[in-house]
Structure 1
Amino acid sequence: MSKVVPARRRGLADEVADRVRDAIFGGAYPPGAQLREVELSTALGVSRGPVREALLKLDREGLVRSEWHRGALVTTLSDVDVAELDSLRSALEQLAVRLVVANASAAELAAIDEAVERMDRARDEHEMVRCDVDFHDAVYAASGHRRLVEAWQAIRSQVHLFLLTRIGVSAEGYLASIPEEHRRLASALRARDGEKALELFASHRGQALDVMLARER
């Protein structure tokens, strides 16, 4: 008797999830938007099965929430969601910064700098948010801590949604200020100034949190 069941091909559902995720991150489906299986299957040219699997995947990522009477909706972050994401991100990021300062190679620090340089070419706020998340990907990668990277990946989509919600509340000065903010972060890491880096990363998180907390209820 076989000890394992045969593997199923899940490539199509993963591709659908990628397409829907990209559409959410690109602003096509803002927080609260309904994601209808029939419409998505028609638009993507696939059956409803892969769409249903994709929406379940996005639900596990925290990007989508299912309500029995409304179906799948793009997640709208509550005040509790915002506070929990900020506190968890803070804990993970402090460890990442300490590890980068202590152990990152020249090539890993260069990858962080390259992520900052891409910000100067961002054409709109949504692209800038992608660059922001890419920057933090590079920081976690430079930490050299596999489980820390996995912990970041577990909340990465929700942090992306957090930043999209932040620009939805107020995008004033966002495109102009974000590259310089990240240049200062990268500079502190390159200088291996742990105290300064921790201070700057905390300020960076705090500015986004302040915008979110000031949103109208």
Structure 2
Amino acid sequence: MFDTQSPFLPAGVPDSVSIAEDRLRLAIISGALAPGERLSEVGICKDYGVGRGVVRTALARLAHSGFVSSQPRSGWKVTPITAIGLREIILGRRQLEPLLADVELPPEEFRRLETLSDMHAAMAAAHTAGLDEQIVLARRYERQLKHLLAMHLRAPLITGWLENLWDKSERYVGFLEAKGGRKLPLTDWSVFIDAKRSGHAPAAREYLIEVCEIFAQFTQARFLEADVAAIEIAPKKSKAPAVDFSAAASSRNQTNPKRMS
């Protein structure tokens, strides 16, 4: 989720519903609200100091964005982390993110883009030198850079889809990094800047495609590792007796003679 306090973003006064929505979204993205966790409207009202109507509207918006779900007699629940959810994010980014290569920025906006790229590179270098906390700042500048490009697409619907995909990407990366300890590699946005400066849109598009593939490869590999780890742990917790599958198969074949053919 991009930094709403950044001086590079336009100023505005959000309404109470938007504030509650943003706080809940950030809590979900950061993992403060865990996947599958049940949400209490009353609890949120107390925590955020807002009314029930505000909370319900904020949750309805988050449900529309795919961060929470509502079930009859079960209330609200944080959307779980799933392989299907990851696949949707990857496919969406592959289809939409390369469109940013064709964005035309006025000179002053391009200078802002360059500044964000330089700041991202500085934080990435600090991270490489062993300052792990700088990766958070690097990713924040990267998100602001992509947000700046998305705002100039002149297609509000696509801009909204991209912002939502990036929020979900951040959530999945944070969850998988916490599980395995490995970090998603930082990318060098100066390559994209140089391509845009020279007017070489195909090279800029190739860079964005590569960014999407780095995300896909990292998350799919980490997801598989987490899934395998879960499978390895599961038998230790199971107390079910062993099953003689050969005997069971023989019994089924005797019941259904067609299986013998």
Fold similarity call, TM over 0.5: yes
Q: SS of the residue aligned with 1:146?
A: coil
Q: SS of the residue aligned with 1:24?
A: helix
Mapped to 1, the partners of 2:165 and 2:192 lie a distance apart of: 23
Name the structure 1 match of 2:191: 188
Could you tell me whether the CA contact under 8 Å between 1:66 and 1:73 is conserved in 2?
A: yes
Instruction: Kindly indicate whether residue 35 of structure 2 is the aligned counterpart of residue 31 of structure 1.
Output: yes
Against the structure 1 CA distance between its residues 196 and 22, is the aligned structure 2 distance closer, same or farther, given a 3 Å change threshold? closer
Give CA deviations for 1:5-61 in whole Å, capped at 9, x if unaligned.
xxxxx9222222222222223332111111111111122222322111111111112
Segment of structure 1 superposing worse, 150-159 or 27-36: 150-159
Q: What letter corresponds to residue 204 of structure 1 in structure 2?
A: I
Segment of structure 1 superposing worse, 115-124 or 24-33: 115-124
Give the alignment of 1:5-44 within 5 angstroms: 11-44=15-48
Instruction: Kindly indicate whether residue 80 of structure 2 is the aligned counterpart of residue 80 of structure 1.
Output: no
The number of equivalent residue pairs is 198
Mapped to 1, the partners of 2:123 and 2:72 lie a distance apart of: 41
Name the structure 2 match of 1:138: 145
Question: What residue ranges of structure 1 are gaps of 5+ in the alignment?
Answer: 1-9
The Cα of 1:189 is off from its aligned counterpart by 1.1
Mapped to 2, the partners of 1:202 and 1:16 lie a distance apart of: 30
Mapped to 2, the partners of 1:91 and 1:107 lie a distance apart of: 26
Q: SS of the residue aligned with 2:226?
A: coil
Name the structure 1 match of 2:200: none
Segment of structure 1 superposing worse, 80-89 or 186-195: 186-195
Against the structure 1 CA distance between its residues 46 and 149, is the aligned structure 2 distance closer, same or farther, given a 3 Å change threshold? closer
TM-score by length of 1: 0.73
Instruction: Kindly indicate whether residue 162 of structure 2 is the aligned counterpart of residue 155 of structure 1.
Output: no
Which of 114, 123, 129 pairs up with 1:109?
114
Name the structure 1 match of 2:223: 212
Q: Say what the alpha-carbon RMSD is for the aligned residues.
A: 3.3
Q: Which has the larger radius of gyration?
A: 2
Against the structure 1 CA distance between its residues 116 and 24, is the aligned structure 2 distance closer, same or farther, given a 3 Å change threshold? farther
Name the structure 1 match of 2:180: 170
Could you tell me whether the CA contact under 8 Å between 2:94 and 2:209 is conserved in 1?
A: no
TM-score by length of 2: 0.62
Question: What residue ranges of structure 2 are gaps of 5+ in the alignment?
Answer: 1-13, 196-202, 231-261
Against the structure 1 CA distance between its residues 68 and 195, is the aligned structure 2 distance closer, same or farther, given a 3 Å change threshold? closer
Against the structure 1 CA distance between its residues 63 and 199, is the aligned structure 2 distance closer, same or farther, given a 3 Å change threshold? closer
